[in-house]
Amino acid sequence: MKTSTMISLMVAAGVITACNDPKGDVERDSLSDATADTAVMYGDERGEVEADYVEIKDVGEDFWANVNWDAPVVDDPELKGTDVEMRQEKEYNIYTLDDRLLFETDKSQIRPEGEEKLQQVTNELKDLPQNGQIRIFGHADARASNEYNKELSADRANAVKDWLQNKGGIAANRLSIEAMGETAPRATNETARGRQLNRRVAIVAVTRE
């Protein structure tokens, strides 16, 4: 009789402990089934970061295909003296950096001086709606082959994207790149000045809520 009573008490205690366990049945769930809150409990850093992301509004590819590179230039006091050009349309801002600000010739590693410029752009981006997409466009002049220009512009756009994410603190799910190569020149490729204007990185940030 005492043995049966003892077993019953042990079973009851086990049920109470399970009910009070803050993890509950989550311990038997896979990480993919865990909620945003339990991601922290598991020590799942990736899940914790993703859980904190704001829902990003996808503007669609037609939006990016119709960016107006000749949008009006804006005189932003925060960017004065930075050599970063800002243009603005109703739904987006364009921050353009000459390739010489960011890279050595034919290279895609960002120079220390370029990091300073990107930090200044990052400060601007953090004042914009945090659910807005950002696309980095790499542009080249027409001196090399189209294939080479596209590859270099992709590498440079990716370098900027990685910097904005890893050092600028911009959420990865806001960022994408597009390698334009020589397809969207701002000036003639027949002069040194024109080619310089064509070699650039443009960061386009959606500003609409």
| DSSP secondary structure letter of residue 56 | P
The pLDDT of residue 7 = 47
Q: Which of 32-41, 98-107, 160-169 holds the top average pLDDT?
A: 160-169
CA dist 29 → 16, 25, 41, 105 (Å): 20, 7, 13, 52
**Same domain, yes or no, for 142 and 98?**
yes
Considering its fold, how many domains does the chain have in total?
A: 2
What CATH number is attached to the domain comprising 149? 3.30.1330.60
Say yes or no to pLDDT of 197 above 50: yes
* pLDDT tens sequence across 112-167: 999 999 999 999 999 999 999 999 999 988 888 889 989 999 999 999 999 999 99
**Same domain, yes or no, for 156 and 66?**
yes
Say yes or no to pLDDT of 46 above 50: no
**Same domain, yes or no, for 138 and 201?**
yes
Give residue 14's identity as a one-letter amino acid code.
G
* Mean pLDDT in residue range 45-73: 78
**Same domain, yes or no, for 119 and 183?**
yes
**Same domain, yes or no, for 118 and 163?**
yes
**Same domain, yes or no, for 134 and 192?**
yes
What's the angle, vertex CA 52, arms to CA 35 and CA 23, rounded to 5? Answer: 25
d(CA 55, CA 59) in angstroms, rounded, equals 13
* pLDDT tens sequence across 134-149: 999 999 888 888 899 8
Q: Tokens for 74? A: 């804006």
**Same domain, yes or no, for 84 and 40?**
no
Q: Which of 19-33, 53-67, 98-112, 150-164 holds the top average pLDDT?
A: 150-164
**Same domain, yes or no, for 34 and 86?**
no
- Domain enclosing residue 43, as ranges: 2-52
**Same domain, yes or no, for 95 and 182?**
yes
The pLDDT of residue 53 = 55
**Same domain, yes or no, for 12 and 112?**
no
d(CA 54, CA 163) in angstroms, rounded, equals 20
pTM of model > 0.85 = no
